[in-house]
Amino acid sequence: MSKKGNNFSFYTPVLLFLILCILITCFKIIENLTKGKKINKEETSFFYPYNIKPETSKKIEMKTSKKKGKVAIIIDDIGWNLSILKEIEKIDEPLTLSILPQAPYSKQILNELKGKNYELFLHLPLEPAPPSKCFDKGLIKIDMDDEEIKKTFEENVGDFLPYIKGINNHMGSLYTINEDKMKILLKEVQEKKLFFVDSLTSPKSCGYKIAKEFGIKTGKRDVFIDNSPDPEEINKKIDEIIKIAQEKGKVIAIGHAKTTTINILKNRISDFEKNGIEIVPVSSLLE
């Protein structure tokens, strides 16, 4: 056999082996693509992030997101229900609990809450506009004179000092629009060195404005969580709170000590953290 024939016989297996390797490599690439194999950024920058599912990208964003806003959640009407307190305590966040001054279990609840991870407020009953009526004891009304207002306020607040940090109004859509009466009340709040949060039960309320004039640390409610008892509506309000906090940086929200509200809050509380929102005591958001 010629020298040329010998060279051909020698290289033929090598060429066939190389062709086979190329075919196998191509087959594997095609197989991976058709199976939707995820390709990491480290593997090739050409495909990233097109082969990453949307939810994967979202999770990466959540892990790296920084705090975008702060939310204070006030739970009103504490004092009527002992069992709801156990459910509230399962929410491991610094909520602000606002206690009615003369509800049946208010003093007992105060004793249980002392020293725990909650900020305490007094939920002060103020007269609502008709046809609404307030049947809570300790109600302050516009037909009271200065001394009656001061006396009633003292009776309401006395047993809760020094544990409460401030007050917010319970009802009060009639009382809070009366500037003269609000000045009398807020002078008392000022003397006790308490904060004031305007629950804003009337858009005409002057409480926040007067509190600022007096130099009282103050704020006003942005969102009512549970004006409607419908779970779907409550969930929509929580979504709204998160959105506002992300856009404006802070939100004061008010809910009530009701089973539906507290259960939904328990289930949704992790959504605040996932969206970069920190739950804080209301005093940290006051002006």
First-to-last alpha carbon distance for the chain, in angstroms, is 101
pLDDT tens, residue by residue, 171-196? 999 999 999 999 999 999 999 999 99
- 248 — phi, psi (to 5°)? -110, -15
pLDDT above 70 coverage of the chain, percent: 78
Distance, in Å, from the CA atom of 202 to the CA atom of 129, rounded to the nearest integer, reads 9
pLDDT at 68: 83
Higher local confidence (pLDDT), 116 or 58:
116
Counting every residue, how long is the chain? 287
Q: Please, which contacts does 57-66 make with residues 24 or more away whose CB atoms are closer than 8 Å?
A: 62/274, 65/275, 65/276, 66/276
Distance, in Å, from the CA atom of 28 to the CA atom of 34, rounded to the nearest integer, reads 10
Distance, in Å, from the CA atom of 53 to the CA atom of 51, rounded to the nearest integer, reads 6
For the chain, the average pLDDT equals: 86
Delineate the domains of the chain, giving CATH numbers in brackets: 3-64 (no CATH), 69-285 (3.20.20.370)
Considering only CA atoms, which of 158, 139, 159 is closest in space to residue 148? 139
pLDDT tens, residue by residue, 26-39? 666 666 555 544 43
- 185 — phi, psi (to 5°)? -65, -45
Does the predicted TM-score (pTM) go above 0.85? no
pLDDT tens, residue by residue, 6-24? 554 556 666 666 676 677 7
The HSE-up count of residue 49 (CA atoms within 13 Å, CB side) is: 8
pLDDT at 11: 61
The whole-number average pLDDT for the span 239-262 is 97
* Cross-strand bridge partners of residue 224: 254
Describe the crossing of helices 179-191 and 207-214 by its angle, rounded to 10 degrees. Answer: 50
Considering only CA atoms, which of 50, 104, 113 is closest in space to residue 79? 104
Contacts of 199 (CB under 8 A, 6+ apart): 76, 168, 169, 170, 172, 220, 221, 254
pLDDT tens, residue by residue, 211-243? 999 999 999 999 999 999 999 999 999 999 999
pLDDT at 168: 98
pLDDT at 40: 41
pLDDT tens, residue by residue, 59-71? 323 333 456 899 9
